[in-house]
Structure formats: structure tokens, C-alpha cells
Structure 1
């Protein structure tokens, strides 16, 4: 049974053809019974061809709705001209009006409505009820017009519903595309953020490890104790880098909270002392001062400040040359946090800082500016008069929640 239903749904013309045959059979029987009756207008010879054509209208209504509407209208006019009174096949008029209102062109739908509203009136004028008054004939015409109007309203409502559903589907598809685009943007932003974090963590800690390893190799034979301390620094720096890497990669998890102590906390300004002490241990003299009254900072500002200082000192160690010193100033203003990192080394060309370092693979000042821009701050960087490099930033302060 289901197969038959699916077959008929895929071949609607067969269904229409079946009902066309049924309608033609009913019309033929009706014409046989009334043929020659005194109260019936028209002969069987003229009525039967009209019934056949109207049945054809039902059979082909889905394939050629506009053409079948015109054909049905022509048959209606033929009935009026040839004096062929209403036959059962005239039911095709209602069917084609519904079909055109639902699936046909707009002009055909309007034409069907106009024809349907006029059909009953023309029929009543052509074949009035002799036993009814004029008012009675008018009421009969109005009553007979109702089915034509209902057929058109039903078809048009189906057309409207289909259009509404199509709009919903289009809107859903558009929203899905927008969601996909937003997801791609979010993924790109997250990748950029993770890349900056990886760069900051790896560049700083590996730089310290390289400096210590070179120093250990240089004094391995002449000063074993210094070499041992350098190796301890390398070990500690490596562990710290590993812990920060684990913390960073932890954000890629499903959002579940990790066990306390599994990953190190996100860096903040309170850890600048440890960062600067690490730089001093690696052989870079750093002067660190805090001005103003420390106060709670938004986490984004804290991380940005830490990463700027970390990146600046890493660049100093990489490009400053021997006997280079650096200074870090952290200034708490009423409405912002100021950072000033300077060194007195020979430095590298400004373009290398912009491009991410001498190897051109890091984020350099581009990453710094991105970080500062994310918190609404400003950053200025460039060579110092007389030598060295200078990086200053102003980060807006907001009350920590």
C-alpha cells in the first residue's frame, strides 16, 4: 500500500487522469438520462464533446495549468453560445480555478478569480429559473458563486503557505551560512590568540634556555659550578614553559575545569617580578619600577601587560647584543596602566621587530599591537635616540568584577 501511495505521489498526472475518467463517466450517464428532456437545454451531441474536453482539463491541470484554464474558459463560453446547460463535467471549472490559484502564474490566478465570480451570474442570466422571482435568481447566482470563490481562496492560501515556508527555509539557510561564517571568524580569532600565546611562551622561555645553554657550554671546563647553575636554570625554565604550554592547550578542551594545580595560572602583573628575575638570571640586567597605587585590573589587561613586557625583554635579549641593559616601568594612572620598556643595546632594524624577529616567524610588534588593540589601548615602539629600543603602551583600566 505504501508503494502504491509513493508511486501515485510521484505521478500525480495518473491520479488526475483517473478522476478525469470518473468525471467523464458521470457526465456521460447524466447526459444519457437527460437527453431529450424538455427541461434540459442542449443535445447530447453537443454536450458530450464539451464534457470530454472539460475532463481533459482535469487530467492535464498540473502539467499545463494556464493552458487548461484558457481551455476551460473557452468551454464555458461554448456552453453559453451553444445553449448547453450545466453538466457534471463543469466541476472541472472549480478544479482548474483551485489549481491555477495554487500553482499557476499570477495573471492566470487573477483571470481564474474573475471568471469564477462571473460564471454563476452568466449561467443564471442564460438559463434563469422561470419559477423564481428576480430576487430569487440573484440569490441563486450569489449562492452558486460561493464555491468558485472558495476554490480560489483555498488555492491561493496554499500558494501563500508555500511561499511562507520557502521564505522560512531561505532564512534558515541564510542564518546557517551566517553562523558558519561567524564560527569561521571565531576559529580564526582563537587561532590567532593561541598563536600569540604560543609565540610569547615559546619565544621567551626558549630564548632563556638558549642563552643559558651557550653560557654553560662556554664555562663547562673552567667554571663547572656556573655551568651547573645554568643547567638548573635551563631545567626550571623548561618546566615553566611546559606548564604554560599545558595551561594554554587546556583551553582547547571541552570547557571542563581542570584539577587544581594541573596547570599554572594565567600570567598577570604580579608575576612580572618572577619574569624579570628570570631575565636577570639569564644575564640580562633589568631595572624594574612600579609607580602609582596598584589596583585590581581586568584579566585581559593583566595578561596584555605581562605579554608586552615578556616580548619586549625577549627581543632585547635576542637583538640587543652583549652588555645590554633594560628597564621596565609600570605606572598606574587614574584611568589607565602605562608600560615603558627600554634597552640600551644595538638592537635590530625596526622592520624585523614588525615582522616578528630576525627569523621572521614570530609575531613581534604585530602581536603586541593586536593585544593592545583588543583591550582598547595604544602602543608606540621604535628606536631610542642615541641607541637602543623603546616600547610604550597605555592600557585603559576598568574596575575588576
Structure 2
């Protein structure tokens, strides 16, 4: 595995490298009584090293500044390795080209460095082909950094594509593992559970005349096994269809807290919310608790997106019809486009939990936009398909 933090540390160190190398190059070009690097060259060179540090944040601006600093350095009679310092502008050009796909930025940086090379070298040749030599040098000094930057950008894009493909492969592997787990549960656990329920039912009929207390115990065991089988069925559906979301465990106490938080967000957005929340939600299983929470969050999110803030929002969670009813009534605008993924996902979640969901104008609430969901306390006697 690639250590991204180590990679970033190396890039940070490379930013500081010119500031360390420039004094070394200038000192190496200094010979007592023969040649000394001019003071203004020292100033320009060290300034270029400091400016280069900001290239990670402002690559184009740094490229332009380094190109401008390169002009007087190129026109200075530098001796030895000190003459390499102005070409820090070429490095900045490589950095710009490698970082962006915007050709306007690449063109500006390239033009700036090309102008710097031309202005810095023009008039320095004494032969008759001085101008041609200047153009050849400019083409080489500009073309090579441009090509190198394009190459590095291509390598970066290739690495990004490989990373994305790797993530997609991992996602497909996880989906295959979920499907394999679902098949294993279906073939082993669910079939055994169904067999247990059948045998308990038979035992109940056999001993029904013997002892009523035993019959009561067997009926309770059968009901518990049926509820467990229903939970397994819904877990299998969630494993087979990851688009419905991950199966998470939510405590009953956490549901009330999260519902209050969702109502607080809606009120903070400027909506007047009249809430009626039944805190007795102990009859819901893990899937139903998670479904209730997601339905509440999605409904209130839609309220904040589409509803009229001048119309109070009526929100309630109550026990009714052998289950839990979630109802959100607001002054929302009816959508002219087909339902989005939000409502479709809400309906799928409700059906997965054995409940129902209706969305639309309600005559019961004077034509207000209403989201109404019903979730069972428990799903008993549901056979595994």
C-alpha cells in the first residue's frame, strides 16, 4: 500500500530543495580574485528560491514571478553552475503543466517562460546567426519543460484512473462477498429456522390436548422463531441490494435523540414544526428502527428543500394500526418531474421493513403535501422466499 503521507512529505521536501541548493551553486561559482557572483544575482537567486516554496498553492503566479526574475539573471554574466539558477522558472513551468488540464493556464505559463528566455538571451550572441540561435535555445528551454509537464500530468492521470479502478474492483468484491453471505444465510440459517418453526407447529398440534401450559410455551417459541426468520429475510434483502443502504444497528434511545436532532435542524432552517412524538418505540426490530430514522431524516430534508416556510410543518410519530405511523404534513410544492431517488429509496426502505409509504396531496389535510409511512411492530409469520 502506498503511504500518501510519506509521498506528501517528499513533495514538501522537494519544495525546499532549491532554497538549499541555490547557495551551494552560487558558492561553488565563486573563486577569489577571479570571479565573484554579483550581489544582485545573489538577491535575485535567493528570492527565486523563496518564491518557489509557494508553488504548491499558487503554481501559475509562482511561474510568472520566476520567469520575471529569470530575465535579469539570464542577462547577467554568470559563471559555472550559478548559471543554472534562472532555469528554476522551467521547473515551475513543469509544475504548472503537470497540475492542470486548463489549456489557458498552460498557455499563460508557457508564454511567460518563453518570453523570459527570449528577453534574457537576445543580443548575447555576437555571430550572424544570433537571432536563430536565440530562437533555437528558447524552443529547447521551453519545449522540454512543456513536454515533461505533459508527461507527468499523463502519469498522474493514469495513477488516478488506476486508483479509481482499484476502488471499483474492491466495491465489486464487497458486493460479491455480500451476495455470497446472503446465499450462505439462505442455505444454512434460514432453512434451519424454517424447519424449526415447522417442527414446533407439529409439536403444538400433537400435545395440544396434553398440557395447555406446554402449548403456550410452544406457541411463544414458534412466534419468536418466526420473528427471527423475518429478520433474516430482511437482512438477506439488504445484503442482496446494497442500494438500499447498509444495515446498521440503532438503539431505541438513539432514535428519539436523532429524531429530535432532525426536528431541530428543520426549525433552524426557518420552519415552524409542530411535533408529536411517541417515545415508546420498543416494539421495532433493528431494520425497522433504522428505516424509521431514515424516513424521518429524508422527509424533513425534502421539507427544507421544497416546502413553503410560511406554512407550519406537522410532524408526528405515533402507535397505530398495530405498528408505528410516521406522518409529515407541509406546504410543499408538487413536483412536475418524476419522483427522484429520495422518494423511491424511502418506499424501498419501507417495503423492506414490511411497511408502506404514501407520498402526495392529502384530502385529509386540506390538500397539503403529506408523507405517511407505516412500520409494523414486528413481522411474524413471514416466510422466506
Return the TM-score normalized by structure 1: 0.40
Higher relative CO (CA 8 A, sep ≥ 6), structure 1 or 2?
2
The structure that has the greater radius of gyration is 1
Tell me the TM-score normalized by structure 2.
0.41
